[in-house]
Structure 1
Amino acid sequence: MSDSNHKIFGRIHSFESCGTVDGPGIRFVVFTQGCPLRCLYCHNPDCQEIAGGTEITATEIVEEVKKYRSYMRFSNGGVTVTGGEPLMQPEFVAEIFRRCKELGIHTALDTSGYVPINAAKPVLDYVDLVLLDIKSYKPETYRKVTSVSVEPTLKFAEYLQQIEKPTWVRFVLVPNLTNEPNNMEELARFVSGLSNVEKIEVLPFHKMGEYKWEQLGYEYQLKNTPEPTLEEVATAMDTFRKYGLKVA
């Protein structure tokens, strides 16, 4: 929403000034508030409710970003907006990215793709790179992980190819859940058909957010799920490489 001075407001959880895992180089990472998914392994469950967090203007965020331009320039980094789900606040995120592009700063959007494409289009105009989280390919597994349907995400992925938007696909490897061989094979086959995908990132499941679930009084259903072994990670990476995908 906008006030009388046309400042674009949004709600964020926090930001990280020197992130190194959400896109190329050193990045200023903005964690937006609100998410339509309820991922079993979510490490930011305190980002889920749209009414939480802190209200802030896009201008205030960009003023903070400017302080780190030298780090971004030196490392070929930029700004990443993640969440939560950034595309729940499209006007706000589009304004952050628009201002960054005016400053010559690389922009990356980390999204689940679980959004109406028409809502995403104005944001994508100012995005250099999309980090697309595909939690699973098999519909039943995706719903078990997220509580929602996989179809919007797959349609979003196809739209990104249609507009030739550079994309990195991210896949969280969870033992006894997402690492089922057919699930990974089908995801690899789907992603290999997308000419705009530069690489796929296999992210090993971890429990670093478990304490947040406990603090919020939520039940952490993956309490007894182990982190993947090096062998399981290697198997997943080999599955994607078999389909000609660059894997990180």
Structure 2
Amino acid sequence: MAVSLGTGIPVRTPPLAGVTAREAATPAAAVQHRPMAGSVHSWDLSTGVDGPGTRFVTFLAGCPLACLYCHNPDTWKMRDGKRVPADAMVAEAAKYEAFIRAAGGGTTLSGGEPLLQPVFAGELLHRFKHELGLHTALDTSGYLGARATDALLRDTDLVLLDLKSWHPGLYQRLTGQRLRPTLDFARRLARLDKEVWVRFVLVPGLTDDPANIEGVASFAASLGNVTRVDVLPFHKLGASKWERLGMDFTLRDTPTPTAPELATAREIFEGAGLTAV
């Protein structure tokens, strides 16, 4: 049930100006104040795909990647979000607190890329965890993992980490960015013994090469903190958004993977000793 901010979240002028363009390009540790507002695209209640149980999912606006199969290209630019105080987001999540708790769920920060706004993301995670007492999850590509402070990660119970490809060239083709920062972040999470669910999108003709899947599986298994792998089928549900934004959806003719193809990918991950769903 996606809810637009125009009707679902009370928006008021925040007491602080929020993250400036300069701060957005600065590691979180160098930011001296904690702005109480950020750029939010929308929020949603979901089950099964954004962490355990029923989740209150906050989609932050802005992303440094440009994934060819992204189904939310309307979240790429921070300016396309709405300025929302942290107070408003916490109050909105609190409306569903009892229901979420009974369903064994929690809250998830997604996007876009939450770590593009590390201070605001840290504020939300801290308050969701300590004020509402809810399980917290961070859905991230890991590309901006260096911006996640140790404090932010302490307030994160679970990281949903997108490992889009093992081959650096393919990763850059898929996202427009380098793979190395994501791998570095994954290793940092392992050192911190932070629980991780890996997300891998199976795209026929791109990410489905067995050698590529085996590379992702071997790396994930080597970390020791990956408790689940979600093998997600490529889909074209976001194609209309690309068209509406005047963008070329280059995968329009790419088929969705078949059930046997998904099963084969899961078997590769399971062969590496991982739990794949």
Fold shared per TM-score above 0.5: yes
CA contact (8 A) 1:17 1:68 kept: no
Instruction: State the one-letter code of the partner of 1:64.
Output: E
Question: 1:171: Cα distance to partner?
Answer: 0.2
Q: TM-score, normalised by structure 1?
A: 0.96
Say which SS state the counterpart of residue 70 (structure 1) adopts. Answer: helix
Which residue, out of 131, 146, 154, partners 2:160? 131
Say which SS state the counterpart of residue 251 (structure 2) adopts. Answer: coil
Pair 1:97 & 2:138 matched:
no
Aligned to 2:178: 149
Question: 1:181: Cα distance to partner?
Answer: 1.1
| Larger mean Cα displacement after TM superposition, 18-27 or 194-203 | 18-27
Query: Quick one: distance in 2 between partners of 1:225 and 1:122?
Result: 41
Q: Deviations over 1:168-192 (max 9, x none)?
A: 0000000000011110111111111
Say which SS state the counterpart of residue 182 (structure 1) adopts. Answer: helix
Query: Quick one: distance in 1 between partners of 2:188 and 2:80?
Result: 31
Aligned to 2:3: none
Query: Quick one: distance in 2 between partners of 1:25 and 1:71?
Result: 10
Query: Quick one: distance in 1 between partners of 2:233 and 2:87?
Result: 35
Pair 1:195 & 2:247 matched:
no
Aligned to 1:238: 267
Q: TM-score, normalised by structure 2?
A: 0.86
Aligned to 2:16: 3
Instruction: State the one-letter code of the partner of 1:57.
Output: P
Pair 1:164 & 2:193 matched:
yes
Aligned to 2:59: 31
Q: Please provide the CA RMSD for this pair.
A: 1.6
Aligned to 1:214: 243
Pair 1:56 & 2:56 matched:
no
Question: 1:118: Cα distance to partner?
Answer: 4.4
Query: Quick one: distance in 1 between partners of 2:122 and 2:141?
Result: 17
After superposing on structure 2, the runs of 4+ consecutive aligned residues of structure 1 that deviate more than 6 Å are none
CA contact (8 A) 2:145 2:182 kept: no
Q: Deviations over 1:47-77 (max 9, x none)?
A: 0012111110111100000000112111110
Query: Quick one: distance in 2 between partners of 1:144 and 1:72?
Result: 38
Question: 1:121: Cα distance to partner?
Answer: 3.1
**Number of residues paired by the alignment?**
248
Aligned to 1:40: 68
> What are structure 1's unaligned runs of at least 5 residues?
none
Question: 1:19: Cα distance to partner?
Answer: 4.1
| Larger mean Cα displacement after TM superposition, 67-76 or 25-34 | 67-76
Aligned to 1:80: 108
Aligned to 1:186: 215
Instruction: State the one-letter code of the partner of 1:157.
Output: A
Say which SS state the counterpart of residue 79 (structure 2) adopts. Answer: coil
